[in-house]
Chains A and B, each alone.
Chain A
Amino acid sequence: MEQWLVQSLVLGLKMFLIVNGLLIAAAYLVYFERKISAWIQNRVGPNRVGPLGLFQSFADVFKLYLKEDIIPTLANKGFHAIAPVISIGIAIAVYAVIPFGEYFYLGGEKVYLSIAPHINVGLLFILGMSSVGVYGLTLAGWSSNNKYSLLGGLRSSAQMISYELSMGLSLIGVLMISGSLDLMQIVQAQNGGHWNIFFQPLGFIIFLVSAFAETNRTPFDLPEAEPELVGGYHTEYSGMKFGLFFLAEYVNMVTACAMMVLLFFGGWDVPFLYEMLGLEEGSVLRALVQFSVVVGKMIPFLFLFIQTRWSLPRFRYDQLMSLGWKVMLPLALANIAITGTIMMIFN
């Protein structure tokens, strides 16, 4: 078969798998969010739909599809409709550059475990895309013609811009160590247990906190603070449009966890694992193990995200801003300075 045909087939298959895998993962995150919240509150959680309630999320999505789609009379219909699409689209687009492993050979063809491997601006692409994501929320808030929505949208834009700064700066330490923006190379630079978390603990904490703010999760879920803003930017959304915002939040959560694993916890690297299992480079099995390692490392972080939501109260808005600008930003800058100094001394 011709080269380009095979390649585009493989590409299409990869996109199909990643997008659908993500949406299913998001659905199950919702399930686990409900389960874990129930356990924390000494309840049982969803247990009616399917064994252990495992199909609950699909029932929810089905319900959302069947619901009436309400558009406020004076809303800006075009923007109102496109805002959730921007949200989910951006959230998923980020996965073009996120690698879940190295590569394997399939009939002489080198297949990478990432849609667009070796993009030399990978990390920048992710940061840039997540800043575009704010358009979804802000447009949703603005176009709904509802003051609560608008406040939620404004809050989200202010919050995301503030925390993006410290998020980006917290990653500079990682970039200085690995010397590349390509996520694959960043992971390879951590090979053999040289995980960035050991060199960048401060950077990791700043990234973690900013990630909570960027994904609008508690304690930073001010854009949708129920007691103050009804539902925040998605107050006027119903049916699957609301569902898309909901899914986007969870996909963003998965992205944040994937970035933490890839940038700070060595990605698919587990010291001596591959040598011990005797998996040679390029084999399908090795790729599978790498994929499972990445996903396995993400699970504790996903759990942390969910558990935090059910443990901590929400920040006040001024607290959020002063934390972002007066604490996170100086710390991130200090982290860069410290990393630079240490690298100068040891090289």
Chain B
Amino acid sequence: MNIEKNTEKQRLNFWEKIYLPEIARGLGMTFVEMFKPKVTRQYPEEVWNPTGSYRGRPVLVLEEDGERCVACGLCSRVCPALAIEVAAGETEKTKERYPIKFEINMLRCIYCGFCEEVCPEEAIVMSKDYDLVFEKQEDAILDKDQLLIPMAQLQDRLEFLRQYRR
């Protein structure tokens, strides 16, 4: 390839070199664009409902007889942002262990979904909840009450995990 041939002088013809017609063409393009339909979603009024594949706030699955979590601490171990804190306790039930304390600091969480991936019980899953607002830093640390979500509400995600998780 002869690079010397490919200079600006040789590539552009006279009208392109004086810019103005090309600028007019560009302006015409943006002008037409102005009248095309808009794509903006007016958020607070038009709420977006994500599909099961969406990774929102991580939550704990709540079954009829209590939480699924066995407080193994794997999620806390794997969390790259060190957002999870678990403390284990024992019960008389067949499932012997349960978390006395389970906290996720939402200011640290990066929504990577590792906790969900590593959990042996499918006890922590990513929800569709993306509308997170906190007025104080302390409010951003969610405790067990705020994390436990009835299983029925998480069907989409559980379905998704069943299909695509290896």
Contact = CB atoms under 8 A, between A and B. Distances in A.
Contacts of B29: 311
Nearest to A43: B40
Contacts, number: 36
Contacts of B33: 39-42
Interface size bucket, B side?
Answer: 10 to 19
Given A205-B20, A312-B23, A40 B38 contact: no
Interface size bucket, A side?
Answer: 10 to 19
B27 A307 contact: yes
Interface in B16-69: 20, 23, 26-27, 29-31, 33-40, 42
A311 B26 contact: yes
B34 A44 contact: no
B37 A311 contact: no
Interface string A18-43: 00000000000000000010011111
Contacts of A191: none
A312 B39 contact: no
A310 interface: yes
A43 B39 contact: yes
Contacts of A145: none
A205 B38 CA distance: 34
Given A42-B36, A44-B38, A311 B30 contact: yes
Contacts of B31: 307
A180 interface: no
A40 B39 contact: no
B38 A42 contact: yes
Contact of A43 (B23, B27, B35, B38): B38
B17 to A, nearest CB: 10
B83 to A, nearest CB: 31
A36 B38 contact: no
A312 B19 CA distance: 11
A308 interface: yes
Contacts of A39: 33-35, 38
A40 B36 CA distance: 9
A205 to B, nearest CB: 7
Interface in A83-109: none
Contacts of A307: 27, 30-31
B14 to A, nearest CB: 14
A312 B26 contact: yes
A41 B29 CA distance: 11
A40 B34 contact: yes
Contacts of A40: 30, 33-34
A47 to B, nearest CB: 8
Given A36-B34, A307-B31, A42 B20 contact: no
A111 to B, nearest CB: 40
Contact of B37 (A41, A42, A308): A42
Interface in A282-321: 304, 307-308, 310-312
Given A42-B38, A44-B40, 14 more contacts: A36-B34, A39-B33, A39-B34, A39-B35, A42-B33, A42-B37, A42-B39, A43-B40, A44-B42, A205-B20, A307-B27, A307-B30, A308-B27, A312-B23
15 contacts: A39-B33, A39-B34, A40-B30, A40-B34, A41-B33, A42-B33, A42-B36, A42-B38, A43-B40, A304-B27, A307-B27, A307-B30, A307-B31, A311-B26, A311-B29
